[in-house]
Structure 1
Amino acid sequence: MAAEHHHTPGRFLDGYAEILADAAATGRRLTRDELDSRRALGAKAAAAGHGWRALVGEHLATARAAWPSTASPDDVLPLVEQAMDAFADGYERAQRLVIRQEEAARREFIDDLLHGRGDAGHLAARAERFGLRLSRLHAVAVAEGPVKYDETDPVPRRVEDALFGRFENRRILFTTKNGRMVCIAPGDQEDVLTHFAKQAHAGTDGGQVAIGRPRNGAVGIGHSYEEALNALDVAQRMGFGDPVLHAADLLVFPVLARDRQALLDLVRSTLSPLEQARGGARPLLDTLNAYFDSGCVAAETARRLTLSVRALTYRLDRIHTLTGVNPADPTQRYTLQTATIGARLLNWPTRPL
């Protein structure tokens, strides 16, 4: 303790001994100005980064040294309590401010990193402060649950505890963004993102997790994050229920959606005739989705749709008649399947083309 006292700057106890001696001698309590001076010094001590234990020890040592020989504990201890309480108030307020500033800086860094804003060199320097080395490959995983989360909610806190409890010494970053949980990890450490996915899926009672491809540098992290978000969007549009999605497995969908006008033309020219069917396009489009998802196996498709094979065959024939494309013909199937995927990406026919 003596060593800690030695390293605590005396200016944070400026006037403390004199205040105690005078107040104890006259039997008065500390004045408002005296208490305010203690609060101000407490705030300065916190801002300077001094530990609370050393500061308390220094105050107690000073109180013992300044203790009037004629004063009783009942005269001095209430004054020490008053002074320490005011000092602690200033110290805690300053610490809360520092925490808020740190959190704001962390949030700003995460936003800049995920959205590719700011100078790459400056981002790299800031990243070291938060445990990332941007010279390495990194991958981003994004978890989405039934509700939106922020970092104070129980689910993200449990996931974070489980993640860092197992990978305490890894250079990883966990946060929440737009109601989703986000984990950034070195690209060669798949076990980290796998564990995150497992914990997030369990913690959200069946939510989905998407993992972007490993990318290099700050810009690469932003791209990996966007890939994960796109994978979640594709899964929602396509009805994929897998608990963990890998962006690398879904690259065809962004390619299809990249030229929106071409996709609109394909869906319109190929599938719009289905709207002439009784009941509209939806039943026949659902039939095509089930047919292609079943590997074009009629019996499995009928089972999924709770139809007889005969009823399914009628629907496929009806699709052939309306569109002029035979879904059972391998040479014609690709165009129809691509248009069907496009319809799901465009949310047609729920949303008009």
Structure 2
Amino acid sequence: MPRRKNGQNAAGSEADATVPGVAAPVGSGPPAASALDPYLKRLVGISTSRERLGEHELEGLREVAAAAAGRGTALTALVSEYLDSACRVWGDLPDTRRAEDHEGVTAVVSALLRAVADATVALTEGYETAHRAAIRGEEATRREFVDDLLEGRTDLGRLAERAERFEFRLLGPHTVAVARAASAFGAGDPATHYVEEALTTRFAAREVLTTTKDGLLVCVSRGTGPDVPEAFAAAVGDAVGDQHQLAISRPRRGPGGIVRSYQEARSTLDLAAQLGLSAPLVHAADVLVFQVLGRDRAAITDLVATVLGGLEQARGGPQPLLNTLTAYFASGCLNTATARRLEMSVRTVAYRLSRIRQLTGHDPTDPDQRYILQTAALGARLLDWPSQPIQPAD
């Protein structure tokens, strides 16, 4: 190692000297070079004083790294250039030349390594902090876009422009799936993050959007196929276990269709809870009849009270006969299949159907009267009758 002759300038004047070998970080340009230059020059004084970098200096390095992150410079490039520059100036640091024995060299090396290590940590901290902030900002912008998309709060031109930023195509049909779990979904929580990672790993950004809304997890997918909704359902199940339920809308076209599909998926989820459906996955098309009936509650209430009200005269109340009626329709109006479903004899099924005809005046075995009874039975489920009493309309 080259040594400086006795009588050369002291460290105090050398600290302000120009440091050879300082270059700009890769991809950052001259501004970053001038930003890092003072911290490389600082090694001159540290080689003599053995002091550590001050907190204000470390904070300055964090700011340099944050600025580099904002320009898109890679962290590896930034740290590599700082370390390379530190190596290049090593031979010209005053005490690396002045040290005359092993102990002197060791002291200089220890001080410089400590300074370089502290600087590297500060650069990494500043970069990662800026990177996390950028990610949070991007996620917030994305959530705002999806919220506006679901609510239909923005004009189509502006919405299409924002969708292009996230590479999501608004043209064509879209399907919306909504998930509810025992614990509300929140932006950035582990379950939400798991589902988002599962979908983004498998599907392109233009095919799927996810967000949290009112404690629900929402997935908007392009097309009419089941791939994304099924993957969404599987990921939610993996993330939260059995305590969840999903509703999937029918596909609709364009931004307006997304709004309608979202509303349909939410109402389907609420309807499934109201009806006590235990299936983890409910398709809106499967409960469409309930949604139609529910649009005129007064009419369906009147229908249930008028058609099925007579069942209240049955011994044991209306529920056993109503269960038989529901099973009978679900079994294709076959007595044998109904008996298997209810785990009773065919004779008992026939007796109950006869009692229903006597008490309601409508024969479930008559094709002309069957539809009235079936519609009334669906309405009873929607109104939670007979658990909840109803009064016929005036």
Range of TM-score over shorter length: 0.7 to 0.9
Aligned equivalents of 1:90, 1:160: Cα separation in 2 = 27
Letter in 1 for 2:75: W
- The 3 A distance-change label for structure 1 pair 189 and 292 is closer
Instruction: Give ranges in structure 1 of 5+ residues lacking alignment.
Output: none
Q: Deviation per CA, 1:27-71, whole angstroms, max 9, x where unpaired?
A: 221222222222232333333332101211221233234441423
Q: Which range moved further: 65-74 or 324-333?
A: 65-74
2:36 is equivalent to residue 13 of structure 1: yes
Distance 1:351 1:118 in 2: 42
| Structure 1 counterpart SS, 2:160 | helix
Higher mean Cα deviation, 146-155 or 265-274? 146-155
% identical aligned pairs: 48
Aligned twin of 2:15: none
Residue identity matched to 1:254: Q
Amino acid at match of 2:33: G
Aligned pairs for 1:151-170 (under 5 A) are 163-168=199-204
Q: CA RMSD in A?
A: 3.3
Please say if 1:320 is aligned against 2:357: yes
Deviation at 1:282, TM superposition (A): 1.9
- 1:325 counterpart SS class: coil
For the residues of structure 1 that align with 2:146 and 2:342, how far apart are their CA atoms?
Answer: 45
Is 1:171 the counterpart of 2:201? The answer is no
Q: Which whole-Å CA distance do the structure 2 matches of 1:257 and 1:162 have between them?
A: 36
Which residue of 1 is the match for residue 86 of structure 2?
A: 63
- CA–CA distance in 2 between the matches of 1:299 and 1:238? 26
Contact 1:8-1:54 within 8 A present in 2 as well: no
The correspondence of residues 265-344 of structure 1 with structure 2, limited to 5 A, is: 265-344=302-381
- Assess, with a 3 A threshold, how the Cα gap between structure 1 residues 29 and 205 changes in structure 2: closer, same or farther: same
Greater mean deviation of Cα atoms: 96-105 or 176-185: 176-185
Match of 1:251 in 2: 288
2: CA distance, partners of 1:272 / 1:25 = 99
Shift of the 327–60 alpha-carbon distance from structure 1 to 2, 3 Å rule, reads same
Q: Point out where structure 2 has 5 or more consecutive residues left out of the alignment.
A: 1-23, 97-107
Cα shift readout 1:183-238 (whole Å, capped 9, x = no counterpart): 32222555444554566567755966543222222221121223333444445555
Deviation per residue, 1:59-99 (Å, 9 max, x gap): 12332344414233223121111222223222222222222
Q: How far apart, CA to CA, are the structure 2 residues paired with 1:224 and 1:192?
A: 15
Q: Secondary structure at the match of 1:348?
A: coil
Task: Provide the C-alpha distance between the structure 2 equivalents of 1:237 and 1:20, rounded to a whole number of angstroms.
Answer: 71
Distance in 1 between residues matched to 2:300 and 2:164, nearest whole Å: 43
**1:175 deviation in Å?**
4.4
Q: Tell me which residue corresponds to 2:3.
A: none
Q: 1:42 to 1:192 in 2, by over 3 A?
A: same
Question: Are 2:113 and 1:77 equivalent residues in the alignment?
Answer: yes
Change (3 A) 1:206 1:290: farther
In structure 1, how many angstroms separate the alpha carbons of the residues matched to 2:43 and 2:59? 15
3-state SS, counterpart of residue 140 of structure 1: strand
DSSP-derived class of the 1:15 partner: helix
Q: How many equivalent residue pairs?
A: 353
TM-score normalised by length of structure 2? 0.76
